[in-house]
Structure 1
Amino acid sequence: MAAVMQVQPGHSVGDIHIGMLRKDAERYLSHAVYRFQVEYEQDKVSFVEINAEAGLSCKYEDIDVFQIKAAQLVEQLDVISPYDRLQSDGCMYRFPQLGLVLWRDLNLTEEDMEQPWFQEMPVENQEDTMRSLYFATAGVFAPENR
C-alpha cells in the first residue's frame, strides 16, 4: 500500500505547513523519507513542495495529484479556483487564490504521442516522456486575497 501525503493548498504538504518555524521544519526534514523543497521568509516556511516519487500518493481532497493526468487535474482545479493564465505555461500551473502550484518538465498532450517526433523515439524514451502527462511536483504557498 502506498504512503499517503496530504496536500492542502495554502496550508501544508504533509506535516510541513506555511508559517512553521524554520527550526521545526528542518528538524522534520532531517528525518523525512520523501524529498521536499522548502523556502523561508523571516525564518518561517513560506513555500513547500513535494516531488512525485514511486509509492507516494499525494492527495488534495480525494484527488491524487500525481496519478491524474495534468490536463484533467488543471481542468478540475480551474473550476474551483482559476489558475493564473499569465504565469502558467503548460508545464507550470499556479493557482494563486488556492495557494497551489503544480509543475511538470514537459507540456505533453495525448495528441503529442501520435506525432512523428514521439513515435520515432525508442520505447524506453517514450515511456519516460509519457510521465510528463502527469505533474512531477506540487507546492503550496500562502494564497493571495480573493
Structure 2
Amino acid sequence: MEIVVRRAVPDDGSRIADIYNQGIQARMATFETDLRTADEQRQWIEEHSGAPAVVAVVNGVVVGFAHAAAYRSRPCYRGIGEFSMYVDANSRSCGVGKTLLNALVAEAQELGYWKLVSRIFDCNTASRKLCQACGFREVGIYEKHGKLDGRWIDCVIVERVITENLR
C-alpha cells in the first residue's frame, strides 16, 4: 500500500469530517461529542492555512489527517503547536499513523515550529505507542482532565522538541 502525504486543502473537508466523526463516536481520543460537518472542516482548514495540516492518501482517498494549532496566544509560546491526528478505522495498523505523524513533524519543522505537544487519553495505548515511535516523550498526566459520558478521563501529555528550530 502506497501512502501519499500532502498538505490538507479545503476540498478534504468531507473526508476529514468522516474520519474525525469516527473518533468522536469511538470515545477514545477526544472529549468532543458533537459530530462535525464537511463545511465546518473546510472552514477550519481555510482559517488555519498557515498552520501545519497534512492528510494521508491511499488510492486517491484521504485515510487520515493531522494538524497543529497554536498552543497558546502569548508570544513566548509562538512556535509550539498542539496537534491532533486521526486515521480512518479501516486504515489503522498499516503504517498510516506513523507516516502521517512523521510528516506533520516535518511540516511543523519547515514552518519554524520548535515543539509539538498533545494530550492522549490514558487508555489509548495505540496512540501512546505511536507517539513514542515517532520521537515523542510522555511528560505527565492530567488527572481527571475532562468528563466524557459521565466518566472522568485522565490524559497523558506528550511532546517532541524539534531541535533543528531551537535558536
Structure with the higher fraction of residues in strand conformation: 2
> Structure 1-normalised TM-score?
0.30
> Structure 2-normalised TM-score?
0.27
In our comparison, the structure showing a higher alpha carbon Rg is: 1
Structure with the higher fraction of residues in helix conformation: 2
